[in-house]
């Protein structure tokens, strides 16, 4: 029995690890969307973060530089999106798609010389406690610092949005850009900041994949996680805490299918993999049916272009 319990502990630990990129990317995208901007470029920003993080690690041999660099590269690539949608008033959907397509291509181009290079071991915290405490050890300890940050992020995001003045500004800009603008808020500037923040978090999510989760560079290694993160924001009805819960469910499904494959379970893995997408559609239907619910949950101006007459 004790063996089973420790196995479940390890299982939960691995579910947490697999949900980290989803939490990071979705929390970033959540802030972006809360300001009224729909950025479909999550996958592209993540993959750029993954290659820049890995490349910087190989070049500088410094993991700190690699992590910071991946966030910066996310910021830079999201700046393209920000400039186009905010300054040149382009359509959010088309621009975001272009960003994803561009990011996947560019990352493969940049990563050409980094294929097959082994990664470096990322330091984990409290590794001794992990072994000594049954069940709770593998859940609470022996993770990278990025994981601890990721699990704190939804709470920080929640605090930011609900309790700080800046958070209120972000929500105001997303829900009613015209009145926010009339109140003297620089809507475009706020949206720029939210887009760049989203880029930084997506870059970090990518770096988590290439530096910590599977420490190597593989073309297209984000493998659709960016799209799941996008789904997750909707699934969570734009609430940071629900992002955390949703990421654990979606991450759990990923881990579960690996184990079910191993046991030879009868449900085809593809059906499990499709669950996050199907669940997101169901949530969308449930929240959209009622116009009051949709007003409560969705940033009202999501995806709409804001233009200030001068």
Counting Cβ atoms within 10 Å, is residue 24 exposed (0-12), middle (13-18) or buried (19+)?
A: buried
Residues between 210 and 229 with contacts to another protein, criterion CB under 8 A:
219-220, 224, 227
Q: For another protein, how many residues bind (rule: CB under 8 A)? A: 50
Picking from 77, 22, 112, 100, the residue whose alpha carbon sits closest to that of residue 196 is: 77
Choose which of 58, 72, 76, 284 interacts with another protein (CB under 8 A): 284
Q: Report CA torsion sign: 157, 159, 164, 168.
A: positive
Does 262 participate in binding another protein (rule CB under 8 A)? no
Distances (CA, A) of 24 to 17, 180, 288: 12, 28, 26
Is there binding between residue 273 and another protein (CB under 8 A)? yes
Of 160-199, which residues contact another protein (CB under 8 A)? none
Give dist(CA 33, CA 222) in Å, integer.
21
Span interacting with another protein, options 66-74, 151-159, 187-195, 279-287, rule CB under 8 A:
279-287
Report the residue number, 5 or 286, with the smaller CB distance to another protein: 286
104 binds another protein (CB under 8 A): yes
Residue 262 beta carbon to another protein: minimum distance, rounded to whole angstroms: 17
288 binds another protein (CB under 8 A): yes
Q: How far is the CB of 286 from another protein (least distance, A)?
A: 9
Q: Could you say whether residue 101 binds another protein (CB under 8 A)?
A: yes
* Contact region with another protein (CB under 8 A), list: 140-148, 190-198, 248-256, 271-279: 271-279
The label of the residue with tokens 């116009």 reads 291
Q: What distances in angstroms separate CA 308 from CA 80, 89, 92, 96, 174, one per listed residue?
A: 20, 11, 17, 22, 15
Of the pair 2, 270, the CB lying nearest another protein is at 270
SS3 call for 238: coil
**Angle between helices 2-34 and 42-60 in degrees, nearest 10:** 110
8 A C-beta contact, residue 236 and residue 245: yes
| Residues forming the site for another protein (CB under 8 A) | 38, 40, 44, 80, 84, 88-91, 93-95, 97-109, 111-112, 219-220, 224, 227, 230-231, 234, 268, 270-271, 273-274, 277-278, 280-281, 284-285, 288-289, 291, 294, 303
């Amino acid at each position: 029995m004790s063996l089973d319990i420790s196995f479940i502990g390890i299982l939960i630990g691995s579910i947490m690890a697999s949900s980290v990129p989803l939490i990071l990317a979705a929390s970033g995208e959540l802030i972006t969307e809360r300001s009224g901007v729909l950025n479909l470029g999550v996958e592209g920003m993540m993959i750029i973060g993954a290659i820049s993080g890995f490349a910087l690690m190989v070049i500088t041999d410094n993991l700190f530089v690699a992590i910071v660099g991946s966030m910066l590269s996310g910021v830079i690539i999201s700046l393209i999106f920000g400039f186009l949608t905010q300054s040149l008033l382009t359509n959010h959907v088309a621009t975001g798609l272009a960003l994803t397509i561009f990011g996947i291509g560019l990352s493969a181009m940049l990563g050409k010389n980094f294929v097959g290079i082994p990664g470096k071991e990322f330091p984990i915290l409290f590794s001794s406690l992990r072994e000594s405490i049954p069940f709770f050890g593998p859940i609470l300890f022996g993770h990278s610092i990025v994981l601890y940050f990721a699990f704190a992020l939804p709470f920080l995001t929640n605090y930011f949005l609900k309790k700080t003045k800046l958070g209120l500004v972000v929500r105001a800009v997303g829900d009613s850009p015209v009145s926010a603008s009339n109140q003297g808020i620089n809507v475009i500037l706020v949206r720029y900041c939210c887009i760049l923040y989203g880029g930084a978090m997506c870059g970090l999510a990518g770096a988590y994949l290439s530096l910590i989760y599977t420490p190597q560079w593989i073309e297209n290694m984000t493998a659709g996680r960016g799209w799941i993160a996008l789904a997750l924001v909707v699934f969570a009805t734009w609430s940071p805490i629900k992002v955390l819960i949703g990421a654990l469910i979606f991450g759990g499904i990923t881990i579960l299918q690996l184990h079910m494959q191993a046991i030879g379970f009868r449900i085809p893995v593809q059906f499990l993999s499709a669950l996050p997408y199907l669940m997101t559609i169901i949530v969308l239907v449930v929240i959209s049916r009622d116009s009051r619910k949709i007003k409560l949950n969705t940033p009202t101006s999501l995806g709409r272009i804001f233009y200030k007459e001068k």
